[in-house]
Amino acid sequence: MKKSAMTLRAIWVLGLLVAYSGGLQCQEADKPLVLQEISWTDVEEYLKSNDMVIIPLGSTEQHGPHLPLGTDYYEAMGVAKIISARTGVLVAPVLFSGYSVYHSGFPGTLSLKPETMEQVLFETTELLIKYGFRKFMFFNYHGGNRVVEQKVIHRINHTTEAVAVAIGYGASFQGYEPIQGADYDAHAGIGETSLMLYFHPDLVKLERAKRPRLTNTPQMKRLQKLIREDPELRDVLDALRYVPEETGKGGASHQMSSNGIFSSENPKKATSEQGKEQAFRMAERAATFIEAWKKVKR
């Protein structure tokens, strides 16, 4: 009996040690790595075993009267940090702004010229490559940045020894999914409001949210009818929307939306739970891709 009791006690202690060790590992794995929050010696140590880096891309632009101007940045950074916690990959924010000139009809919007944004991102990657980073992943959460993202990825892949890919919107594995409760929800609507209620509820003024009055030019209206018979014409419609006022197309955001929101519904339908589901779904897709890429030898 005494020997049996000792054996049981040994098993119990061993179980505690395993649980404690596992708990520490989980705690470490759950903590995102952000470049600005660690030291140069931490970067040096990180590079001994990992040459991956995530660069989030967002914007500073109007998101209706109820969401902060930094919504896209907070969303890109928020999802990137979830990915980091899941995979241990370093996140390196570079810019708070993106290409958003078509939102400048609403005060506070900031915008970079595409060539300026591309150059800043490329020069940043040049230094990161110098330190030893070789696998670059851009997590973009702003449609206006897509062209810039594509150009800088192409430039990295064709002029440096590094490899760059998209893991946010623009990635092959990040398909668009309809937002629950809305037929149309493109900007500052239920989807983005839900994300911000999850990431930064203190910055959301939900009482200000209301359904927008959306306006299309006569040409846009004609195209919408024709698209029912010829879906290929959607590319023409897309070319008329979200463009600078100076183009004369009537597609700047303040010309199409009464309050900067683009949704068929009232954003007050948003919930933190829906935001969390969106964020983790995108993060899990990206994390699955990253874990697969890790299997490729350095």
| Residue ranges making up the domain that contains 128 | 32-210+271-294
Same domain, residue pair 252 and 222: yes
Residue 105 placed within a domain:
yes
Residue 6 placed within a domain:
no
Average pLDDT over the chain, rounded to an integer: 91
pLDDT over 90 (residue 18): no
pLDDT over 60 (residue 141): yes
Same domain, residue pair 224 and 286: no
Residue 238 placed within a domain:
yes
Q: Which residue has the higher pLDDT, 264 or 12?
A: 264
Same domain, residue pair 241 and 183: no
Same domain, residue pair 153 and 227: no
Same domain, residue pair 200 and 225: no
Same domain, residue pair 203 and 225: no
Residue 11 placed within a domain:
no
pLDDT over 60 (residue 26): no
Assessment of whether the complete model's pTM goes beyond 0.95: no
Residue 12 placed within a domain:
no
Residue 135 placed within a domain:
yes
CATH of the domain at 151: 3.40.50.10310
Same domain, residue pair 86 and 186: yes
Residue 16 placed within a domain:
no
Same domain, residue pair 109 and 68: yes
- Note the pLDDT of residue 30: 80
- Structural domains of the chain, count: 2
Give the mean pLDDT of 141-162.
Answer: 98
Which pLDDT band holds residue 16 (cuts at 50, 70, 90)? Answer: very low
Same domain, residue pair 200 and 228: no
- Note the pLDDT of residue 25: 33
Instruction: Write a three-state SS string for the chain.
Output: CHHHHHHHHHHHHHHHHHHHHHHHHHHHHCCCEEHHHCCHHHHHHHCCCCCEEEEEECCECCECCCECCCHHHHHHHHHHHHHHHHHCCEECCCCCCCCCHHHCCCCCCECCCHHHHHHHHHHHHHHHHHHCCCEEEEEECCHHHHHHHHHHHHHHHHHCCCEEEECCECECCCCCCCCCCCCCEEECCHHHHHHHHHHCHHHCCHHHCCCCCECCCHHHHHHHHHCCCCHHHHHHHHHHCCCCHHHCCCCCHHHHECCCCEECCCHHHCCHHHHHHHHHHHHHHHHHHHHHHHCCCC
Give the mean pLDDT of 144-171.
Answer: 97
Give the mean pLDDT of 7-11.
Answer: 43
Same domain, residue pair 93 and 205: yes
Residue 157 placed within a domain:
yes
Interval 206-246: pLDDT, tens: 999 999 999 999 999 999 999 999 999 999 999 999 999 99
Same domain, residue pair 135 and 246: no
Same domain, residue pair 187 and 251: no
